[in-house]
Amino acid sequence: MADKFKVAIVGSGPAGMSAAGRAAESGVSHVLLEKADHLSDTIYKYQKGKFVMATPEVLPLRSPMSFQAGIREDILRTWDEQTAGHKANVRFKNEVTAIKGQKGKFELTVLGGPAVEAEYVVLCIGLQGNLRKVECAGADRPWVQYQLDDPDAYSDETIIVIGAGDAAIENAVALARQNKVIVVNRRDEFARAKQGNLNLITEAIDKGVIECFYNSEPKEIGDNFIVLTTADGEAKVECNRVIARLGADPPRRFVESCGIKFPSKDRAALPELSGSYESNVPGLYILGALGGYPLIKQAMNQGYEVVEFIEGRPVKPADEPLLEAKFANINAGVDETLQRIRQNVPLLSSLTTLQLREFMIDSTVHTPPRGDVIFARNDYTNSLYSIVQGKVGIQVNPTNPAEMIELGQGQFFGEMGLISGRRRTATIVAASDDCVLIETPRRSMIKLVNSVAAVKKVLDQTAMGRQIQTQLAPEVPTAELQEVVETAKIESHPAGTVLFNEGDQGDAIYLIRRGSVTVSRAIAGRNLVLSYVPAGNYVGEMALLSRAPRSATIKTAVATEVVKLDGAAFTKVLDKHPSLREKLENKYEQRMVENVRMEEAPESGGLIEFLVAQGVGEATDVLLIDESLCVRCDNCEKACAETHGGTSRLDREAGPTFASIHVPTSCRHCEHPHCMADCPADAIHRAPNGEVFIDDKCIGCGNCERNCPYQVIHMAAKPPAKPGLLQWLLFGAGPGPGEDLGAKKVKSDSPKLAVKCDMCKDLAAGPACVRACPTGAAIRVNPEQFFAMTIRG
């Protein structure tokens, strides 16, 4: 017999706990099922003493539980007390493993407790997922652990680390300082790890500091040994401890098994929800991080609201005042405006009310007067604009601003910057007096594109047509390009994919819409890089024009998206438009000349290849140090620290060198910044000049630090202020400018937040590191220009 309740709440994070509190407070029969033995496991696992932020500040809190910014321990204690105070019905160590049935009668299978039957289910299990366990005999022994809080707590042990991801490597390397460490890797390389970690572990293994079993898996764990199946049979290894870091299974599979649908396979896709957080399964509600609301306060508000919805008491969402403020400049009510947006903008018409609300909270409404510049050519912004009302003009000819193409109500613009991550290709101005535009940041667009298939389709089709027109054939009327556009295909490729090989047959032209490629040719048995082609350009025209096999190999330098154009369809257009053919032929000749020059100077090709291998291909601006000039004075680092609250964001010495060009560990301001991907507080942005920076909304969750493949973000607390220059000079008050703080400890009440290079966007004269270099060794360059200069010699 299952226990019966009206509402079963699964997961006791901020969302679930708040829902249970509200249910208890208003006398609704409920149970809160939590798999851990304490409330709110995600927050419980934050590092000790972490300062938890309560963003967004403008959002009011609506919950029976209180929450304000503070130390993790205090917040958890308050929640424990209040949950007990409200007499919420919590069952710890109760993990829900299946949810079946429908509204009115759901059946929940529970591991560690009695089964539960409920009329409604509120699912708020967050995104942390389940840690993967070792699957072999003896895996439950107490000395097999899945977390490592303090590597320095162990010494002189033999420790087996299972796994090949970043966590495993970081643990192994840290433990190896005081212990003998043996890594067990299921594969023959560390493919999933970040470059920096990969270097660390391979170096440690090469040096013999760490031992590694490749192609191996645990078979049995005994009292003080482990048996591994390896490529050459079994191996028994004595050890004191096993640490398994196998990652976590995202909760998606479990959620799907409950009947909930996701609109696409993409990792960023969110389940579709109604305005009252109800999923496609009636009676099953999804809240919090799992539903796409990654902040504590939002999750708590939803917990309150969902109980009201279930009880049939309509509430205005807590974000209502935010939207009201957003729409203040067009003097219209929230519902009315949302309605109008949906009617006027086809791109957004397929959104649910909830999606549209969230979309609008992230967006900004602009009402520019006629003639105002919305964004300028060569800006680095990457937001998307939709036209709710009025007209805008695109200045297609940079030399003559009067030459404009107009876009009207319902259309959108700015998609090229969004897709390519590069500078804007044209200036856009308001072209009527009644303009109402919605500007949506990249992050929300990406979420939307991955969650609503219709949006992706419209966006891709429109963008493709516009790109073929503007970047390949501006002189050809749109109608005549129709066949080319219809036969064109968008392809995405990971870094290192060959689009075609030298000698292949084929006449397709590739328009690069995102990422970049290298052009290379086999010369004297060596693959020589001849050129680097970034987004916004095309490759493959040589074979089409010469009707010969491919003359070079094209390989993607980073994750790349191309528009593949059918050769036959394009040839027809060429035949009709000799001026276009001539343009292509000119480009062809120019490339031939450059190729010949590069073949004579293979070192330059080597340098390009090296930099591309360092991921510089996806950078928009990278710090390069010429080691034949650098006197290792570290004035660059000091300048960085002095102009950025005492913490340097660059590590000069770290990083590889090729032919005296050194790539230090410093932000490259990627075209598609990996660091932005999972920032719950939306604190990472790109400024118009291209700087990727973190603003003061950062909550210190560390996601960006993990997501950046180049290890350029770290978490740091603000160090205390230093005495001034004169005080130091005249009275010897230390530490002086550029000097270390020494033993002075950082005050513990300043939270650790993410810090990274912002290219000194607030200093008019540009990056302090470069300006502080006395010898001219340090420069910041746009790789595209750098490569172009390298190629031209």
Partner 1 sequence: MHESVLVYRRFRYLKWAVTLTVVSLLAYIFHSPAEPANGGTWLGYTLGTIGVGLIVWLAWFGIRKRSYANPEIKLEDWLSAHVYLGLSLIFVATLHTGFQFGWNVHTLAYVLMMLVIVSGAFGLYAYVRYPKLMTENRRGVSLDAMIVEMAEIDRETRELGAKLTDEIRDLVFDAVENTRIGGSVRRQLESGRSGRTVAAIARIREIIPLPSREQTEDGRRLISLLTRKNELVLRARNDVMYKAMMDIWLYVHVPLTFALLASLIAHVIAVFFYW
State the residues that interact with ligand HEM by CB under 6 A: 633, 774
450 to 169, 273, 391: CA distances (angstroms): 31, 15, 28
Question: Residue 636 binds what, of ligand SF4, ligand FAD, ligand HEM, none (CB under 5 to 8 Å, by partner type)?
Answer: ligand SF4
Question: Residue 560 binds what, of ligand FAD, partner 1, ligand SF4, none (CB under 5 to 8 Å, by partner type)?
Answer: none
CB of 251 to ligand FAD, least distance (A): 6
Question: Residue 643 binds what, of ligand SF4, ligand HEM, ligand FAD, none (CB under 5 to 8 Å, by partner type)?
Answer: none
| Angstrom distance (rounded) from CA 619 to CA 670 | 4
Alpha carbons within 13 angstroms on the beta-carbon side of residue 661 total: 21
CB 341 within 8 A of CB 356: yes
Q: Which of 273, 699, 768, 778 binds ligand FAD (CB under 6 A)?
A: 699
Side-by-side strand order, sheet with 489-493: 489-493, 560-565, 509-514, 538-539
Site for partner 1 in 718-737 (CB under 8 A): 725, 729, 736-737
Question: Residue 486 binds what, of partner 1, ligand HEM, ligand FAD, none (CB under 5 to 8 Å, by partner type)?
Answer: none
| Angstrom distance (rounded) from CA 276 to CA 507 | 53
- Tokens (6 digits) for 737: 């400018």
Find all residues with CB under 8 Å of 436, minimum gap 6, and list them.
330, 365, 366, 367, 387, 388, 389, 390
CB of 760 to ligand HEM, least distance (A): 19
Which residue in this structure is represented by tokens 């004035």?
635
Question: Residue 626 binds what, of partner 1, ligand HEM, ligand SF4, none (CB under 5 to 8 Å, by partner type)?
Answer: partner 1
- Give the strand pairing for 241-244 and 144-145: parallel
Number of H helices, E strands in the chain: 23, 43
Q: Which of 19, 449, 557, 675 binds ligand SF4 (CB under 6 A)?
A: 675
Question: Residue 670 binds what, of partner 1, ligand SF4, ligand FAD, none (CB under 5 to 8 Å, by partner type)?
Answer: ligand SF4
What does residue 155 show for φ and ψ, rounded to 5 degrees? -150, 155
Residue 533 engages ligand FAD in binding (rule: CB under 6 A): no
- Tokens (6 digits) for 516: 């970049």
CB of 627 to ligand HEM, least distance (A): 16
CB 769 within 8 A of CB 637: yes
Following DSSP, what letter does each residue of 138-200 receive, concatenated? TTTSTTEES--S-GGG--S-EEEEE--SHHHHHHHHHHTTTSEEEEE-SSSS-TTS-HHHHHH
Q: Which of 634, 691, 758, 784 binds ligand SF4 (CB under 6 A)?
A: 634
Residue 633 engages partner 1 in binding (rule: CB under 8 A): yes
Residue 21 engages ligand FAD in binding (rule: CB under 6 A): no
Q: Which of 412, 756, 783, 790 binds ligand SF4 (CB under 6 A)?
A: 756
Burial of 702 (0-12, 13-18, 19+ CB in 10 A): middle
The CA-based angle 694-700-701, given to 5 degrees, is 110
The one segment of 31-39, 45-53, 588-596, 706-714 that binds ligand SF4 by CB under 6 A: 706-714
The one segment of 114-122, 212-220, 544-552, 631-639 that binds ligand SF4 by CB under 6 A: 631-639
Residue 320 engages ligand FAD in binding (rule: CB under 6 A): no
Judged by CB, which is closer to partner 1: 592, or 729?
729
Residue 622 engages ligand FAD in binding (rule: CB under 6 A): no
Q: Which of 22, 422, 669, 780 binds ligand SF4 (CB under 6 A)?
A: 669
Judged by CB, which is closer to ligand FAD: 58, or 765?
58
CB 707 within 8 A of CB 677: yes
Judged by CB, which is closer to partner 1: 593, or 764?
764
Site for ligand FAD in 50-109 (CB under 6 A): 52-53, 55, 95-96
The one segment of 334-342, 390-398, 606-614, 770-778 that binds partner 1 by CB under 8 A: 770-778
The one segment of 203-211, 291-299, 387-395, 441-449 that binds ligand FAD by CB under 6 A: 291-299
CB of 507 to ligand HEM, least distance (A): 58
| Angstrom distance (rounded) from CA 616 to CA 598 | 20
| Angstrom distance (rounded) from CA 136 to CA 142 | 14
- Tokens (6 digits) for 660: 């005296």
Cis previous bond, 218, omega within 30:
no
Residue 761 engages partner 1 in binding (rule: CB under 8 A): no
Size of the site for partner 1 (CB under 8 A): 43
Please give the single-letter amino acid code of residue 612: V
CB of 773 to ligand HEM, least distance (A): 9
Following DSSP, what letter does each residue of 207-232 receive, concatenated? HTSEEEETT-EEEEE-SSEEEEEETT
Strand ranges (DSSP E) for 635-738?
657-658, 661-662, 684-686, 692-694, 714-716
Q: Which of 160, 162, 182, 296 binds ligand FAD (CB under 6 A)?
A: 296
Site for ligand FAD in 250-269 (CB under 6 A): none
Judged by CB, which is closer to ligand HEM: 235, or 633?
633
CB 471 within 8 A of CB 521: no
| Angstrom distance (rounded) from CA 234 to CA 208 | 21
Question: Residue 725 binds what, of ligand FAD, partner 1, ligand SF4, none (CB under 5 to 8 Å, by partner type)?
Answer: partner 1
CB 431 within 8 A of CB 392: yes
Site for partner 1 in 199-228 (CB under 8 A): 203, 207-209
Q: Which of 9, 31, 33, 338 binds ligand FAD (CB under 6 A)?
A: 33
CB of 619 to ligand SF4, least distance (A): 7
Question: Which spans of this chain sit near partner 1 (rule: CB under 8 A)?
Answer: 203, 207-209, 626-633, 635, 638-639, 642-643, 653, 656-657, 660, 662, 725, 729, 736-738, 763-765, 768, 770-777, 779, 781, 786, 789
Question: Which spans of this chain sit near ligand SF4 (rule: CB under 6 A)?
Answer: 625, 630-636, 652, 667-670, 673-675, 692, 708, 710, 712-713, 756, 772-773, 775, 777-778
Question: Which spans of this chain sit near ligand FAD (rule: CB under 6 A)?
Answer: 10-16, 33-36, 40-43, 46, 52-53, 55, 95-96, 124-126, 128, 288-290, 294-297, 299, 680, 699, 701-702
